[in-house]
């Protein structure tokens, strides 16, 4: 089996990849004996958040790829080097980096733009019918790419009406989904789970991510 691409957005829930979601994704792939490759765009973060205070660290700058390398233990490549055809599936863990660095949904909502390399990889995967997985807020990326491509997809950001409204504004069919469950789009081979959009504890996020990874790997086998 080819490796699964895991696209990270930095390191840290408020300005990068959510570390628990990223680790749980990698853990579940490894437990199923599925090889993976972490990757991230080589771009500046939108901003840096002090995770102790929750405030913007004025004057600080960080690089998404360099920060994501912390999560990947240095085993990571520049997203620009990746082609979807080289991978069996692609998974995007969440964290606000997905909505700040991989796209700007956190700022612009349904009017967001997606990083060109991220959009390219997803578009390649869609064209080749390569399965895609999205965790937490990352489905917003898929929603925007699908809107630009004229596709109606089924995705979830959990059970919040506010989030549903924003996704529907992009032409997405938003499925209200409990934290331990997944939303499956069989037509486009896309699966999503709310994780920390809903989770109050790590075990809740873990159950949904495990189900996402097992379902996605099941498609591959």
Q: 162, 55, 141: which is closest to 93 by C-alpha?
A: 141
Q: Where are the domains of the chain?
A: 4-220
pLDDT at 90: 98
Read off the tokens for 208. 């949904």
pLDDT at 6: 99
Whether residue 65 contacts residue 78, with contact meaning beta carbons closer than 8 Å, is answered with yes
Start-to-end Cα distance in the chain: 9
Three-state secondary structure call for residue 153: coil
Residue of 11, 38, 112, 136 marked catalytic = 136
pLDDT in tens, the chain (221 residues): 899 999 999 999 999 999 999 999 999 999 999 999 999 999 999 999 999 999 999 999 999 999 999 999 999 999 999 999 999 999 999 999 999 999 999 999 999 999 999 999 999 999 999 999 999 999 999 999 999 999 999 999 999 999 999 999 999 999 999 999 999 999 999 999 999 999 999 999 999 999 999 999 999 98
pLDDT at 57: 96
Is residue 38 part of the annotated active site? The answer reads: no
Task: Name the E strands within the chain.
Answer: 4-7, 36-40, 76-78, 89-92, 132-135, 154-155, 173-174, 183-185, 190-193
Q: 105, 133, 153: which is closest to 208 by C-alpha?
A: 133
- According to CATH, the topology of domain 4-220 is Rossmann fold (3.40.50)
């Amino acid at each position: 089996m080819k490796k699964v691409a895991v696209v990270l957005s930095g390191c840290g829930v408020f300005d990068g990849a959510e570390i628990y979601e990223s680790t749980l994704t990698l853990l579940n792939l490894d437990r199923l004996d599925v090889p993976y490759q972490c990757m991230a765009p080589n771009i500046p973060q939108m901003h840096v958040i002090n995770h102790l205070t929750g405030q913007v660290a004025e004057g600080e700058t960080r690089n998404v790829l360099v920060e994501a390398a912390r999560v990947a233990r240095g085993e990571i490549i520049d997203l620009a080097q990746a082609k979807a055809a080289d991978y069996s599936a692609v998974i995007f863990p969440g964290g606000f980096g997905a909505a700040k660095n991989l796209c700007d949904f956190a700022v612009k909502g349904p009017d967001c733009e997606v990083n060109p390399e991220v959009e390219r990889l997803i578009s390649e995967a869609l064209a080749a019918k390569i399965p895609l997985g999205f965790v937490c807020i990352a489905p917003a990326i898929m929603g925007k790419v699908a809107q630009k491509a004229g596709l109606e997809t089924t995705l979830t950001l959990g059970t919040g009406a506010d989030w549903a409204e924003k996704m529907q504004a992009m032409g997405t069919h938003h499925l209200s989904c409990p934290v331990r469950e997944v939303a499956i789009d069989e037509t486009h081979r896309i699966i999503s789970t709310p994780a920390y959009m809903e989770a109050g504890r790590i075990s809740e996020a873990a159950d949904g991510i495990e189900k996402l990874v097992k379902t996605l790997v099941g498609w591959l086998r």
